[in-house]
Amino acid sequence: MSPEHCEVIEDAVGGMTAAKARGMLCAAVAQTFPSEQLRLVDSVRNRICENTVAELLG
């Protein structure tokens, strides 16, 4: 699968950085770092259950 067809859900800044570097969409879960430190991603959620399939599919 090509990167532009992937979305990553991450809670680690390193994973978010890697996903964005490969051209993937990235949703951050602000459990490890505060949401203010997660500006490079496409969306930030406080809990993973806040991500819906409809949002992930765009």
In a domain, 32, yes or no: yes
In a domain, 19, yes or no: yes
In a domain, 56, yes or no: no
What is residue 56's predicted lDDT score, i.e. its pLDDT? 66
Number of domains within the chain:
1
In a domain, 25, yes or no: yes
User: Which tokens sit at 18?
Assistant: 């890697």
In a domain, 58, yes or no: no
In a domain, 57, yes or no: no
Range of the domain at 21: 3-49
Q: What is the pLDDT of residues 23-32, one digit of tens each?
A: 999 989 888 8
In a domain, 54, yes or no: no
Residues for the chain: how many in total? 58
Q: Sort 21 into a burial class: Cβ within 10 Å, 0-12 / 13-18 / 19+.
A: exposed
| Conformation bin of residue 15: beta by default, left when phi > 0, alpha when psi is -120 to 50 | alpha
Q: What is the pLDDT of residues 11-54, one digit of tens each?
A: 888 999 999 999 999 989 888 888 888 888 988 888 878 777 77
pTM recorded for the entire structure: 0.77
Q: Sort 38 into a burial class: Cβ within 10 Å, 0-12 / 13-18 / 19+.
A: buried
In a domain, 29, yes or no: yes
